[in-house]
């Protein structure tokens, strides 16, 4: 096409040019012929004239007729009679001066007649020699012929006529007018000549030229086409590579057809991939939406089915987390999904069947029982996942007809099957993770017992069952007695160990079918669905208590754990989880109030007590604002002379309705509800203010003791708040003693010891309060950062007992050896004072001297005592 496009116009132009040039050439040939023809005619005319004038000269006698010149001119010269004289007045018409005579030979003779002009007498007729008249035929015309005619008579022909067809002949006609000179008609000169075709040589060039051009055009166009086709072919290859490397089945050999087909295969591959991506996206959405695993597996199975066609396809999952679980999902050739067992034998004790390990595609000839019914040749399996984590196996059934074929190679060109299996593994891992989270959210981290949330999730189900079977059940709220002392005294790490052991004992004592939960801290909750009445509930409680008869041994400490429990029965003590737990809690609280180490069934009255407690907390907050808290002061007496050696500040609350409330009733509450910090600061400030006031009034109180809660010590700002209170009221560190309960001051409580040591270094003294009730042993009394030991009033109260006497005596002896001041508190009788005196313990605090006094009362005592001292 390219070649033709070049050749056709070229040939056309060539042809037109040729034709035009040929026309031009033939026109110029015609012109030439005319010139030749005319030239010849004029030459003949010239020779006629020459002959006539020669004849005239002969008639005049100037020349002889027999001269050489005339001889060649004339064949004969004859005399003619005189010519008639021309009539005067009329124009003289010339005579016919040329005569044409036919001869016998056929060739006409031509004679010219001339007369003497001067005389007009002698007229001569000269027959012209043809050679002279017609001249040299060669010179007349080349390659042609000129014939002369006169009045239908052929006079002569010179040259030769061309022997060619008519249309190749040029003709010319020229009339030589003779009338004026010779008085005869014109002679006609007819010239013919062969057309000289000067362009025929070019015609010969045309073919090679055209062929040359065609070849050139072909060459150039093929170069050009290659320039287009080579990149096109590369493009094709690349698209084909994108399209999975498969060469398109080509029906046409045109690159554009191939391009189209390659694009088509690319498109179908991309469509397939988009479909795959969509499936994966759907799966991801399901995973993200925490849908059940079954939904994901169904989606994956259906996607695999679109890839591999109707055949049994199975997905087996094996999750290694939580309770070991395995499941097999089968998509039958008819598209029905079912769960089957693809593992031979019971999956019983073997935690993870050894067959289930991550591996690439493998062909298994042994058909699992669940797949046996389909009459398969083999099963192709792919297992993904981690050895220790969730595993997913995809199984493709190979039909008998396909035996020996590599199924995965046929269908899994792009690894989509692996990807799908991987997604199931992700879903499985997500589900396992979810389960872990669910477990974590519902279990206590320390003891792994169910937590409060789990109780609230499980209780409604238990209640539902109880409703159906029309019976009640028991809930127990169990709290450890004095756990705070253990925690504070032995440290949290040990406290945690104690809790773990307590949980273990509770769990095993409660037995199966009983829910044991840890609600937080040292609070446990037991739901016993088969303890249907109060007696059964108490039996359950007894069983638990029995488990705690043995002491807990933790890091060489052997601890007896007392339990306080409250029992609430469904449905009498509560119809829902919330009520049951709250009322069991109340009953427990009451058991605690009554001294602990016992169980207390719930009683409707308790509710009121609980409400009172809530009210109390509310009132306590209000008390701070309304300034209902104030201090009383109990003097510390030297029993030898009855002098006041100091006083202890004790907090009092004058409630507008309930009257005076003792600190035993609200300090614990303040510690629980976080008010203790504010209250502690208030006490410090009031005490210091009071001491400064007495000092200003000239009253002498050697020392003031202030009680400090372990919570204040733990908060870390005790030193600063004491320093602030002292500075505010211009007091000295040495005037203050800090009383802190024994349980805080133990080996593990490095922080507490450091803080107290810091206070001591600042000049203040530290007293251990309620000594003997904590878990500290006498042995490490030496290490305690303390100046004063206050023997707990429970020892003083039972001082009549021999055992107690021994304990108290050893405390005093050891304390004095260590250089500590020993204070006996809660001394109520003079017998006790005497006994203590006899053991060298003289500092006494108790009702035997004074109860805690309002500040005015103490002030009234102070001057008297100073006066007495003076």
Most distant CA pair in the chain, distance: 225
Task: Select from ligand C2E, Ca ion, none the partner in contact with residue 664, using the beta carbon and a kind-dependent cut-off of 5 to 8 Å.
Answer: ligand C2E
Draw the binding track, 755-784, toward Ca ion (x: CB under 5 A; -: no contact): --------------xx--------------
Distance separating alpha carbons of residues 596 and 591, to the nearest angstrom: 5
Q: Which of 140, 321, 644, 667 binds ligand C2E (CB under 6 A)?
A: 667
If binding is defined by CB under 6 A, does position 601 make contact with ligand C2E?
no
The token duo for 531 is: 């303890």
User: Residue 402 or residue 828: which is nearer to ligand C2E going by CB?
Assistant: 828
Distance separating alpha carbons of residues 96 and 111, to the nearest angstrom: 11
User: Residue 563 or residue 650: which is nearer to ligand C2E going by CB?
Assistant: 650
The token duo for 310 is: 């109707």
Task: Select from ligand C2E, Ca ion, none the partner in contact with residue 667, using the beta carbon and a kind-dependent cut-off of 5 to 8 Å.
Answer: ligand C2E
Draw the binding track, 780-809, toward ligand C2E (x: CB under 6 A; -: no contact): -------------x----------------
Q: Which of 408, 772, 846, 855 binds ligand C2E (CB under 6 A)?
A: 846
Q: Which of 662, 668, 730, 763 binds ligand C2E (CB under 6 A)?
A: 662
Pairing of strands 736-741, 765-771: parallel
Binding window for ligand C2E (CB under 6 A); candidates: 27-35, 584-592, 689-697, 823-831: 823-831
If binding is defined by CB under 6 A, does position 537 make contact with ligand C2E?
no
Task: Select from Ca ion, ligand C2E, none the partner in contact with residue 847, using the beta carbon and a kind-dependent cut-off of 5 to 8 Å.
Answer: ligand C2E
User: Residue 541 or residue 739: which is nearer to Ca ion going by CB?
Assistant: 739
* Contact call for residues 342 and 311 (beta carbons, < 8 A): no
3-state helix, strand, coil in the chain (%, to 5): 50, 20, 30
If binding is defined by CB under 6 A, does position 606 make contact with ligand C2E?
no
Residue 625 CB-density burial (10 A; 0-12 exposed, 13-18 middle, 19+ buried):
exposed
Binding window for ligand C2E (CB under 6 A); candidates: 111-119, 155-163, 382-390, 644-652: 644-652
Does residue 571 have a cis peptide bond before it, meaning omega lies within 30 degrees of 0? yes
User: Residue 574 or residue 663: which is nearer to ligand C2E going by CB?
Assistant: 663
If binding is defined by CB under 6 A, does position 646 make contact with ligand C2E?
no
Report the alpha-carbon angle 175-44-30, nearest 5. Answer: 50
Distance separating alpha carbons of residues 697 and 572, to the nearest angstrom: 64
If binding is defined by CB under 6 A, does position 59 make contact with ligand C2E?
no
Task: Select from ligand C2E, Ca ion, none the partner in contact with residue 828, using the beta carbon and a kind-dependent cut-off of 5 to 8 Å.
Answer: ligand C2E
Task: Calculate the CA 209 to chain-centre distance.
Answer: 69
Binding window for ligand C2E (CB under 6 A); candidates: 2-10, 49-57, 435-443, 659-667: 659-667
* Contact call for residues 334 and 344 (beta carbons, < 8 A): no
Count CB neighbours of 827 within 10 A: 27
CA distances from 406 to 243, 361, 377, 480 (A): 22, 10, 12, 68
Distance separating alpha carbons of residues 649 and 635, to the nearest angstrom: 9
Pairing of strands 169-176, 187-194: antiparallel
* Nearest distance in Å: CB 686, ligand C2E: 9
Count CB neighbours of 663 within 10 A: 18
- Those residues whose C-beta lies under 8 Å from the C-beta of residue 4, and which sit 6 or more positions away, are none
Residues of span 654-713 touching Ca ion by CB under 5 A: 707
Pairing of strands 515-520, 523-528: antiparallel
User: Residue 48 or residue 688: which is nearer to ligand C2E going by CB?
Assistant: 688
Distance separating alpha carbons of residues 738 and 761, to the nearest angstrom: 13
* Nearest distance in Å: CB 672, Ca ion: 20
If binding is defined by CB under 5 A, does position 742 make contact with Ca ion?
no
**Closest listed residue to residue 714, CA positions, set 751, 671, 765, 748:** 751
If binding is defined by CB under 5 A, does position 845 make contact with Ca ion?
no
The residue ranges of DSSP E strands in 451-587, in sequence order, are 473-480, 515-520, 523-528, 552-554, 557-559, 563-570
* Nearest distance in Å: CB 677, ligand C2E: 11
| Count, residues near Ca ion per rule CB under 5 A | 5
User: Residue 318 or residue 741: which is nearer to ligand C2E going by CB?
Assistant: 741
If binding is defined by CB under 6 A, does position 828 make contact with ligand C2E?
yes
Task: Select from Ca ion, ligand C2E, none the partner in contact with residue 569, using the beta carbon and a kind-dependent cut-off of 5 to 8 Å.
Answer: none
Distance separating alpha carbons of residues 645 and 635, to the nearest angstrom: 7
Q: Which of 408, 566, 663, 774 binds ligand C2E (CB under 6 A)?
A: 663
Torsion of CA 434, 439, 441, 445, to 10 degrees: -130
Helix (H, G, I), strand (E, B) or coil at 490: helix
* Nearest distance in Å: CB 494, ligand C2E: 24
Binding window for ligand C2E (CB under 6 A); candidates: 73-81, 463-471, 704-712, 801-809: 704-712
Residue 26 CB-density burial (10 A; 0-12 exposed, 13-18 middle, 19+ buried):
middle
Binding window for ligand C2E (CB under 6 A); candidates: 188-196, 513-521, 617-625, 646-654: 646-654
If binding is defined by CB under 5 A, does position 737 make contact with Ca ion?
no
Helix (H, G, I), strand (E, B) or coil at 337: strand
User: Residue 580 or residue 791: which is nearer to Ca ion going by CB?
Assistant: 791
User: Residue 296 or residue 629: which is nearer to ligand C2E going by CB?
Assistant: 629
If binding is defined by CB under 5 A, does position 788 make contact with Ca ion?
no
User: Residue 172 or residue 825: which is nearer to ligand C2E going by CB?
Assistant: 825
Handedness of CA 135, 139, 143, 146 (dihedral sign): negative
User: Residue 522 or residue 739: which is nearer to Ca ion going by CB?
Assistant: 739
CA distances from 281 to 291, 307, 411 (A): 14, 17, 21
If binding is defined by CB under 6 A, does position 645 make contact with ligand C2E?
no
User: Residue 487 or residue 707: which is nearer to Ca ion going by CB?
Assistant: 707
If binding is defined by CB under 6 A, does position 847 make contact with ligand C2E?
yes
The token duo for 270 is: 């991309």
Residues of span 730-789 touching ligand C2E by CB under 6 A: 739, 769-770
User: Residue 746 or residue 824: which is nearer to ligand C2E going by CB?
Assistant: 824
- 154 bridge partner residues: 149
Q: Which of 537, 651, 713, 812 binds ligand C2E (CB under 6 A)?
A: 651
User: Residue 415 or residue 595: which is nearer to ligand C2E going by CB?
Assistant: 595
If binding is defined by CB under 6 A, does position 172 make contact with ligand C2E?
no
User: Residue 431 or residue 825: which is nearer to Ca ion going by CB?
Assistant: 825
- Those residues whose C-beta lies under 8 Å from the C-beta of residue 72, and which sit 6 or more positions away, are 129, 131, 132
Provide φ and ψ at 856, rounded to 5°. Answer: -60, -40
* Contact call for residues 853 and 634 (beta carbons, < 8 A): yes
Determine the residue with CB nearest Ca ion. 739
Binding window for ligand C2E (CB under 6 A); candidates: 308-316, 357-365, 649-657, 749-757: 649-657
Distance separating alpha carbons of residues 640 and 310, to the nearest angstrom: 107
**Closest listed residue to residue 74, CA positions, set 54, 103, 97, 101:** 54
If binding is defined by CB under 5 A, does position 739 make contact with Ca ion?
yes
User: Residue 243 or residue 852: which is nearer to ligand C2E going by CB?
Assistant: 852
Task: Select from ligand C2E, Ca ion, none the partner in contact with residue 326, using the beta carbon and a kind-dependent cut-off of 5 to 8 Å.
Answer: none
User: Residue 423 or residue 711: which is nearer to ligand C2E going by CB?
Assistant: 711
| Count, residues near ligand C2E per rule CB under 6 A | 23
Distance separating alpha carbons of residues 340 and 379, to the nearest angstrom: 15
- 383 bridge partner residues: 359, 393
Q: Which residues bind Ca ion (CB under 5 A)?
A: 707, 739, 769-770, 825
Q: Which residues bind ligand C2E (CB under 6 A)?
A: 634, 649-651, 662-664, 667, 683, 707-709, 739, 769-770, 793, 825-828, 846-847, 852
């Amino acid at each position: 096409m390219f070649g033709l496009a070049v050749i056709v116009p070229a040939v056309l132009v060539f042809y037109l040019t040729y034709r035009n040039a040929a026309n031009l050439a033939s026109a110029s040939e015609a012109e030439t012929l005319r010139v030749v023809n005319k030239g010849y005619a004029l030459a003949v005319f010239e020779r006629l004239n020459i002959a006539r004038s020669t004849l005239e000269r002969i008639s005049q006698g100037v020349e002889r007729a027999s001269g050489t010149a005339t001889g060649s001119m004339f064949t004969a010269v004859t005399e003619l009679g005189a010519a008639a004289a021309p009539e005067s007045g009329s124009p003289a018409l010339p005579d016919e001066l040329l005569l044409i005579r036919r001869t016998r030979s056929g060739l006409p003779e031509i004679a010219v007649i001339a007369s003497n002009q001067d005389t007009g007498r002698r007229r001569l007729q000269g027959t012209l020699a043809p050679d002279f008249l017609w001249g040299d035929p060669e010179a007349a015309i080349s390659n042609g012929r000129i014939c002369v005619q006169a009045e239908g008579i052929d006079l002569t022909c010179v040259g030769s006529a061309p022997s060619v067809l008519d249309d190749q002949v040029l003709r010319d006609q020229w009339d030589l007018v003779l009338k004026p000179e010779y008085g005869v008609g014109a002679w006609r000169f007819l010239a013919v000549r062969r057309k000289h075709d000067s362009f025929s040589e070019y015609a010969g060039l045309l073919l090679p030229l055209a062929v040359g051009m065609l070849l050139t055009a072909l060459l150039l166009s093929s170069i050009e086409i290659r320039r287009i086709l080579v990149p096109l072919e590369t493009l094709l290859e690349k698209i084909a590579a994108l399209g999975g490397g498969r060469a398109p089945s080509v029906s046409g050999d045109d690159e554009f057809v191939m391009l189209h087909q390659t694009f088509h295969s690319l498109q179908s591959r991309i469509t397939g991939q988009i479909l795959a991506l969509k499936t994966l996206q759907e799966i991801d959405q399901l995973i993200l939406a925490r849908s059940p695993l079954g939904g994901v597996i169904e989606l994956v199975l259906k996607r695999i089915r679109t890839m591999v066609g109707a055949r049994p396809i199975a997905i087996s999952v094996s999750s290694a987390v939580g309770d070991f679980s395995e499941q097999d999902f089968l998509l039958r050739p008819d598209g029905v999904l079912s769960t089957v067992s693809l593992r031979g034998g019971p999956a019983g004790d073997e935690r993870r069947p050894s067959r289930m390990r991550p591996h690439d595609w493998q062909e298994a000839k042994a058909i699992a029982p669940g797949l046996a019914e389909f009459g398969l040749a083999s099963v192709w399996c792919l297992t993904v996942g981690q050895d220790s984590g969730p595993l997913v196996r995809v199984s493709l059934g190979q039909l008998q007809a396909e035996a020996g074929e590599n199924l995965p190679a046929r269908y899994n060109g792009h690894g989509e099957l692996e990807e799908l299996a991987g997604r199931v593994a992700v879903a499985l891992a997500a589900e396992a993770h979810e389960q872990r989270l669910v477990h974590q959210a519902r279990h206590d981290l320390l003891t792994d017992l169910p937590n409060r949330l789990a109780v609230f999730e499980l209780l409604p189900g238990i209640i539902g069952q109880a409703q159906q079977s029309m019976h009640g059940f028991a809930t127990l709220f169990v709290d450890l007695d004095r756990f705070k002392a253990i925690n504070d005294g032995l440290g949290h790490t040990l406290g945690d160990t104690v809790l773990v052991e307590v949980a273990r004992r509770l769990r095993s004592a409660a037995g199966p079918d009983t829910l044991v939960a840890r609600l937080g801290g040292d609070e446990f909750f037991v739901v016993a669905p088969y303890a249907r009445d109060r007696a059964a509930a108490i039996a359950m409680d007894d069983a638990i208590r029995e488990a705690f008869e043995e002491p807990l041994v933790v890091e060489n400490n052997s601890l007896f754990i007392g339990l306080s429990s409250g029992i609430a029965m469904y449905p009498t003590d509560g119809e829902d989880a919330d009520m049951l737990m709250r009322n069991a809690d109340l009953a427990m609280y009451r058991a605690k109030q009554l001294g602990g180490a016992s169980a207390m069934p719930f009683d409707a009255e308790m509710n009121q007590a609980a409400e009172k407690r809530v009210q109390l907390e509310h009132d306590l907050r209000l008390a701070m604002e309304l300034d209902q808290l104030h201090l009383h002061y109990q003097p510390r007496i030297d029993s030898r002379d009855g002098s006041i050696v100091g006083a202890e500040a004790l907090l009092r609350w004058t409630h507008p309705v309930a009257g005076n409330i003792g600190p035993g009733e609200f300090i614990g509450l303040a510690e629980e509800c976080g008010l203790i910090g504010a209250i502690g600061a208030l006490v410090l400030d009031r005490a210091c203010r009071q001491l400064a006031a007495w000092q200003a009034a000239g009253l002498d109180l050697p020392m003031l003791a202030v009680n400090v809660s372990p919570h204040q010590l733990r908060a870390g700002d005790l030193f600063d708040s004491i320093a602030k209170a002292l500075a505010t009221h211009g007091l000295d560190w040495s005037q203050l003693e800090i009383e802190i309960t024994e349980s805080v001051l133990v080996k593990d409580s490095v922080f507490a010891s450091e803080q107290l040591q810091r206070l001591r270094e600042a000049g203040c003294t530290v007293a251990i309060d309620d000594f003997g009730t904590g878990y500290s042993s006498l042995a490490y009394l030496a290490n305690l950062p303390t100046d004063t030991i206050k023997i707990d009033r429970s020892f003083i109260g039972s001082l009549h007992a021999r055992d107690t006497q021994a304990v108290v005596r050893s405390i005093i002896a050891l304390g004095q050896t260590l250089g500590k001041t020993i204070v006996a508190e809660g001394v109520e009788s003079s017998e006790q004072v005497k006994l203590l005196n006899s053991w060298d313990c003289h500092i006494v605090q108790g009702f035997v001297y004074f109860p805690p006094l309002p500040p005015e009362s103490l002030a009234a005592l102070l001057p008297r005592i100073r006066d007495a001292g003076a």
